[in-house]
Structure 1
Amino acid sequence: MKVFFRFLPWVILLAAVYFFISKKFSINTSVENKHQLLVEKIEAIGKLELVRYQISDVLEHKEKTDFLPEASILLVVKAEAVGCIDLTKITKQDIGIDADTAVVNLPQPEICYVKIDHKNSKVYDTKMAFFREAALVDDAYKAAEKQVTAEVKKSSILLQTKTNATNVLKPIIEGLGYKNVKFTFD
């Protein structure tokens, strides 16, 4: 019991020192952001999005230089492409009505946008990147965006947009009382 009372002050002193140091030297991190948003431009958009492709691309991007070893990065890139029709291009002359038949001349479908989904894309591996990793990742994403855009242009997205335009707009026009609805694309 004497031994216990001999070490008790030391235990109390160590606990007090630990408590003091942990409170005194604890690292508190605070983040402060100040934003001043300014709306620069407001545009009326009449584009009807009719089809969305979700795309995955596995990309191995290599960069070779004369004096550094070959650097490479492996990415799985998630992207989306949207096909649409710009309804603001329709004029009165594009709509023909004859008794119970409506003929609508729609504008040609277009690719509204192709964009990389950075939130769901992942960098899986980098080799020999050293201090150039950020630039390598940026270049890889740019290459992926170019490739995805090129592949989307080759795909059937515009044909699918035409089909979906007919499927979406036909019931609306039929709801106005027209039994026969025909679409053409200018």
Structure 2
Amino acid sequence: MKIFFRLLPWLILLIAGYLFIAKKFSINTSVESKHQLLVEKIEAIGKLELVKYQISDVLEHKNKTDFLPEASVLLIVKAEAVGCIDLTKITREDIRIDADTAVVNLPQPEICYVKIDHKNSRVYDTKMAFFREADLVDEAYKAAERKVAAEVKKSDILTQTKTNATNVLKPIIEGLGYKNVRLSFE
């Protein structure tokens, strides 16, 4: 019991010292952002999105240099590609009405965009990246975007866009009172 009373002042001093140092030298951080947004351009868009492909890619990206060890990053990339037709390209000459028949020449389908979904993509692992990790991850995402775009161009997205255009537009035109609807793509 005597030892306890001898150590008690030291224990109290030690706890008080810890609390003082923790309070005095605690790091308080605050974040402040000031934005001044400016709308630079407003465009009228007449593209009808008709099909969306959601794509996953597992990518191992390596960077080799002469004087540093090989660095690599493993990404799980989520992307989307959208096929559409640009309705602003339709002119009056592209629409022909004969009694109860409507003939519409639509523009060729196109790939509206291919983009990486950074919110759902993940950096799974990095090896030997050290101070170049950010650059390596950036290179990997760019490589993934190029590869996904190339694969989408090889896919049947444009054929699927044509099919969906017919499935969407034909009932709308029939609803206007035309019994026969013919859609073609120029």
Q: TM-score, normalised by structure 2?
A: 0.90
Structure-1 separation of matches of 2:3 and 2:66: 72
Relative to structure 1, the CA distance from residue 146 to residue 98 in structure 2 (aligned partners, 3 Å threshold; closer, same or farther) is same
2:168 aligned with 1:168: yes
Structure 2's unaligned 5+ residue stretches are: none
Matched residues, number: 186
Distance in 2 between the 1:66 and 1:170 partners? 61
Alignment correspondent of 1:95: 95
**TM alignment of 1:6-85, pairs within 5 A:** 17-85=17-85
Gaps in structure 1 of 5+ consecutive residues: none
Question: Partner residue of 1:182?
Answer: 182
Structure 1 pair 135–174 and aligned structure 2 pair: CA distance change class (3 A): same
What SS does the corresponding residue of 1:34 show, helix, strand or coil? coil
TM superposition score normalised by structure 1: 0.90
Shift of 1:118: 1.1
Letter in 1 for 2:121: S
CA distance in 1: counterparts of 2:37 and 2:172, whole angstroms: 39
Q: CA RMSD in A?
A: 2.0
Any idea what SS the aligned residue of 2:183 has?
strand
Q: Deviations over 1:44-101 (max 9, x none)?
A: 0000000000001111111222222222211111100000000000011111111111
Query: What do the CA deviations read for 1:126-177 (whole angstroms, capped 9, x no partner)?
Result: 1222221111111111111111000000000000000001111111111111
